[in-house]
Amino acid sequence: MLRLHRKKKVETEPARKIFSLKELHSATNSFNYDNKLGEGRFGSVYWGQLSDGSQVAVKRLKAWSNREEIDFAVEVEILSRIRHKNLLSVRGYCDEGQERLLVYDYMPNLSLVSNLHGQQYSGECSLDSTARIKIAIRTAQALAYLHNHVVHGDVRASNVLLDSEFEPRVMDFGYGKLMPDDDEATKARSSNGYLSPECVASGKETEAGDVYSFGILLLELVSGKRPIERLNATTKRGITEWVLPLVYERKFGEVMDQKLKEEKVEEKLKKLVLVGVMCVQTEAEKRPTMSQVVEMLMNESKEKISELEANPLFKNPCREHQEVADEISEEQQ
């Protein structure tokens, strides 16, 4: 009986494959620049092809020195057991000398950032409103599930990959423990536009911080604009700086990605904007949980959208102050 139980466990929870460094050198053409897919918080990612013909993405982590106290293999194994259809779990890893590499299944439609901002899609629209709504909901579901186990800590468009059916697969969750940020990395993260004010101040990763980052991601998904835009050589603008005034004025059409040429885009995506704004509230305790975010995104009733829109959060504070001032002025007259 014990033997059968163990066999069943092996079938449902397979150990991650341990790759040799030689094997991954061969797969990625010695980490050739032409194979490079991108650069992330924890290291560079390369396209590779294994000897069996399968395509993989290999993440080569940054220098591992002074991190010997962390058991890399054990941590990877623990994190890889967190399974959800919209999470991209590790397929295997390499642990040789100072090299630490993670191997994932290759996602043919690359990342959300590639589809929204990549040169290959400049001037065209690779994601229609239906695809964007699906990506928003499925990503929220993955994060809500993840919060039962661990904080993601680095929610951003480059960490949402898209499979052959444009289903989102969230990656790089929980690896902050494996790769603690140095001062330079912390500074870079603080200025990427996704990090919540309290996370910038404390350097700590929290569930509420993930919610804030997801809110920025929603606004990016709807608008097609980056979290931080450079207006000129000296001026940058955060996405909330220009979205919030438009939301206060109910000018949702001006928030929408101009590459979307469909009918009723504003009607379809307005809810994503409202939920996004709720997620990026400055005070962490006022933000919804990821489970509440999922519930709001999935509720399609017009009454619920009207209820969301009536939230005091969406009232223009400047207009409220002006109305109060006008009332006082009338009373004095």
Chain centre distance of CA 128: 19
* b/e burial code for range 212-244 (CB count within 10 A of at least 16 → b): bbbbbbbbbbbbbbbbeeeeeeeeeebbbeebb
Distance CA 85, CA 175 (A): 19
Give the orientation angle of helix 207-223 with respect to helix 265-279, to 10 degrees: 150
Distance CA 207, CA 241 (A): 23
Query: 315: which 2 tokens?
Result: 């009232």
User: Is the distance from CB of 213 to CB of 193 less than 8 angstroms?
Assistant: no
Catalytic site includes residue 154: yes
Is 315 annotated as a binding-site member? no
**List of residues 6+ apart from 161 with CB closer than 8 A:** 88, 107, 109, 110, 111, 112, 168, 169, 170, 171
Query: 88: which 2 tokens?
Result: 């991209």
What sign does the CA torsion over 129, 161, 193, 313 have? Answer: positive
What sign does the CA torsion over 216, 217, 223, 228 have? Answer: positive
The residue type of 153 is G
Q: Which of 154, 172, 210, 257 is catalytic?
A: 154
User: Is the distance from CB of 136 to CB of 221 less than 8 angstroms?
Assistant: yes
Distance CA 124, CA 106 (A): 24
Going edge to edge, which strands form the sheet with 99-105? 17-18, 92-96, 99-105, 55-61, 43-49, 36-39
Distance CA 17, CA 20 (A): 10
Can you say which residues are annotated as belonging to the binding site for ATP? 59
Q: Which residues does the annotation mark as catalytic?
A: 154
Can you say which residues are annotated as belonging to the binding site? 59
